[in-house]
Amino acid sequence: MTNAREISVEYLARVEGEGSMRVKVVDDQIEHVEFSIFEPPRFFEAFLRGRPHTDAPDITARICGICPIAYQMSSVHAMENAFGVTVDGPLRELRRLIYCGEWIESHALHIYLLHAPDFLGYESGIHMAADHREVVEQGLRLKKAGNSIVGLVGGREIHPINVRVGGFYRVPTKRELEALIPELEWAKDAAVATVRLVSGFTFPDADLDYEFVSLSHPDEYPFNEGRIVSSKGLDLSIPEYNDYFLEEHVERSNALHSQIRERGAYHVGPLARYNLNFEKLTQLDQELAHEVGLGAVVTNPFKSIIVRAIETLYAVEEALRIIDEYVEPSEPYVAYTATEGEGHGASEAPRGLLYHRYRIHDDGRIADAQIVPPTSQNQLTIERDLRFVLEEHLDLPDDKLSWVLEQSIRNYDPCISCATHFLDLTVERG
Amino acid sequence: MADVVVIGVGNRVMGDDAVGPVVIDRLVGRVPDTVVLVESVGDATHLLDTWRDARLAVVVDAVVSGGVPGAVHRIDGLVGFPASWRSASTHLVGVAEAIGLGDALDMLPDELVVYGIEIGKVEPGVTLSPEVGAAADRVAEMIGAEMAGVSGS
């Protein structure tokens, strides 16, 4: 006997971008699990062809309203790789600083307004604000501290325009940066409080076997540079990306799915960075992690919210360090000559590894572009998690099952594009 | 903080979705200097910060609600949106959430007007379709007229 049930949610709230999830369960057997995403980067790849290479940072920044810096950073690193440009010293530090700003704002938004409501039983951040006004206000202020860094170093908070190949159009003065310190000191305390707050949530049980992938650098928690490493032994330079990873069609979907060649799904984002770079966090971060019960490796994806909070704290501390040690560079950028060639760049967007590759004509125009955002790379892993959650929670009524499925998708803070927000969530039971 | 602010929500490289920022472009020089013009991607927290202390905020955003591309809706943002806007518009999830949050946290302007412009297909590109471009002109005129009315107060 079958009992036909169907859950339909108009859109998957609180996830940036467009996507849909479809799950089919027949007689308590999972028949179909699909998490599909709309992929504006594919369109942008075509849009970039023939344009000057100098357009790439500002155009790709428009792929996402929440993480424009990540797109700018991966694109400028790719161009610099193509032209043999090295950016170091204070300019390199400023790039880390602006990335700190983006992590703070993106993580604060996700923790407080998007994911915390799942754990606390609220339909949205708006509903949560009614009962937890001070908590939401703290989240908004923390996010604003990140915005301030992006606004100052990036030229403006929304669609920053100050990043260019070789460095910046204008660099901030020491005094301008120092003006950020009081609010960042507040943000440091707020970030510590955030770690303690979210670690008190109740987490669904999960101990999953992932291949974590992130950048790794010998001296620092990764933002812009490093080798691509994995928890199962990968260790490659950024230009080798396509030798080890591929995007291919899978039968059930038209979208390209990223995989490690001959191995399959992998996991990028805060959990991967944390697990592969724990010892690069500050002493405070590590002690706090232990205080709230996290080891050096976290395999419960629902605890990504705690890791995001720790990364927020790290980003605030790192921003304060950079500002303290900052010496104004003599030039705002490194001069270079565009040449024919190919370049690869990867950086750690708030949501994980973001890879760009460009081939450049001898006149400096873009011959072709490849952009692989973190959510595409997590797509198969998200589907695997959905299958796990279904298996664990099939006995739940539809509304509660739907809730935990959405919550598990938000573990990845999926963000494809702020160009569109329409989402469609359907659970079919036959 | 601005007494009167006009916020254009959208993405300049996504075709018709750029209509909010384009209206902002067309208002330059057409409104009193005291009116602050702001471009936004529709992030709720940015909207809250932009309008929280304003007496009047005007938001211009793209809408896909089944209407003809170029159709213009003008609503009182403090009263609520038509339900059809929430699920299918490109940015109004952000705008709607910002209004909800602003209500919960006392971060709304005294007066909030939302112009929704129906758009067609959204895909990368830096030009508006003719009908949406014409609507941008029309909305810029309407806002210009509203601003003339409020500038002396």
Q: Residue-wise pLDDT tens for chain A (430 aa)?
A: 455 444 433 334 334 444 567 788 888 888 888 777 666 667 788 889 999 999 999 989 888 777 899 999 999 999 999 999 999 999 999 999 999 999 999 999 999 988 999 999 998 888 899 999 999 999 999 999 999 999 999 987 766 789 999 999 999 999 999 999 999 999 999 999 999 999 999 999 999 999 999 999 999 999 999 999 999 999 999 999 999 999 887 665 556 788 999 999 999 999 999 999 999 999 999 999 999 999 999 999 999 999 999 999 999 999 999 999 999 999 999 999 999 999 999 999 999 999 999 999 999 999 999 999 898 899 899 999 999 999 999 899 888 988 898 889 889 988 644 333 333 334 555 5
pLDDT at A141: 96
Among B17, B88, B101, beta carbon nearest to A126: B101
What was the pLDDT predicted at A121? 94
State whether residue B97 sits within 8 Å of chain A by CB: yes
B127 interfacial to chain A (CB closer than 8 Å): no
Low-confidence ranges of chain B (pLDDT < 50): 86-92, 152-153
pLDDT of residue A30: 85
CA distance A341 to chain B (A): 26
Q: What is the pLDDT of residues A8-20, one digit of tens each?
A: 333 343 344 445 6
Rounded to a whole number of angstroms, the CA Rg of chain A reads: 21
Which residues from chain A sit within 8 angstroms of residue B43, using beta carbons? 65-66, 109, 158, 418
Interface test with A, best of B93, B119, B123 (most A CBs within 10 A): B93
Distance CA A219, CA B92 (A): 43
pLDDT of residue A174: 97
CA-CA distance, A115 to A128, in Å (whole number)? 11
Gyration radius from chain B CA atoms: 14
Which pLDDT value is given to residue A39?
60
Judging contacts by C-beta atoms under 8 Å, the chain A residues touching residue B49 are 144
Shortest Cα distance from B15 to chain A (angstroms)?
A: 10
Looking at this protein, which amino acid is placed at residue A107?
H
pLDDT of residue B153: 42
Of B11, B44, B46, the CB nearest to A62: B11
Of A66, A126, A419, the CB nearest to B17: A419
Which residues of chain B are within 8 Å of residue A125 when distances are taken between CB atoms? 97, 101
CB contact under 8 A, B43 and A66: yes
Count Cβ atoms within 10 A of the Cβ of residue A141 and give its class: 0-12 exposed, 13-18 middle, 19 or more buried: middle
Per-residue pLDDT reduced to its tens digit, A290-329 = 999 999 999 999 999 999 999 999 999 999 999 999 999 9
* Nearest-neighbour CA in chain A from B152: distance (Å): 30
Q: Does B44 touch chain A (CB under 8 A)?
A: yes
Q: How many CB pairs under 8 A join A and B?
A: 85
By C-alpha distance, which of A201, A429, A220 is closest to A322? A220
The DSSP string of A296-351 is S----GGGHHHHHHHHHHHHHHHHHHHHHH----SSSB------SEEEEEEEEETT
- The alpha carbon of residue A48 is apart from the nearest alpha carbon of chain B, in Å, by 10
DSSP count for chain A of H helices, then E strands: 15, 14
Q: Cite the DSSP H helix spans in A13-88.
A: 40-48, 56-60, 68-83
Torsion, Cα A243 A56 A311 B101, to 10 degrees, reads -130
Hey, what's the torsion of the CAs at A56, A62, A65, A68, to 10 degrees?
Answer: 10
The separation between CA A308 and the C-alpha centre of its own chain, rounded to angstroms, equals: 10
Chain A residue whose CA is closest to B12 = A62
Nearest CA in chain A to B10: A419
Q: Do B91 and A421 touch (CB under 8 A)?
A: yes
Residues of A in contact with B88 (CB under 8 A): 422
B48 touches chain A (CB under 8 A): yes
* Interface residue of B101, B107, B108, B127 to substitute, partner A, most A CBs within 10 Å: B101
| Residue to substitute from A133, A159, A183, interface B, most B β-carbons within 10 A | A159
- Could you tell me if A196 and A135 are in contact, meaning their C-beta atoms sit under 8 angstroms apart? no
8 Å CB contact between B34 and B4: yes
The answer to whether the CB atoms of A143 and B12 lie below 8 A apart is no
Max distance between CA atoms of chain B, in angstroms, equals: 41
Q: The complex's ipTM?
A: 0.84
> B40 to chain A: which residues are within 8 Å by CB?
158
What tokens does A201 get? 């949530």
Interface probe for B, chosen from A48, A422, A423 (most Cβ of B below 10 Å), is A422
pTM for this prediction: 0.91
Structure confidence at residue A402 (pLDDT): 84
pLDDT of A353:
97
| A319/A196 Cα distance (integer angstroms) | 21
Interface test with B, best of A75, A102, A418 (most B CBs within 10 A): A418
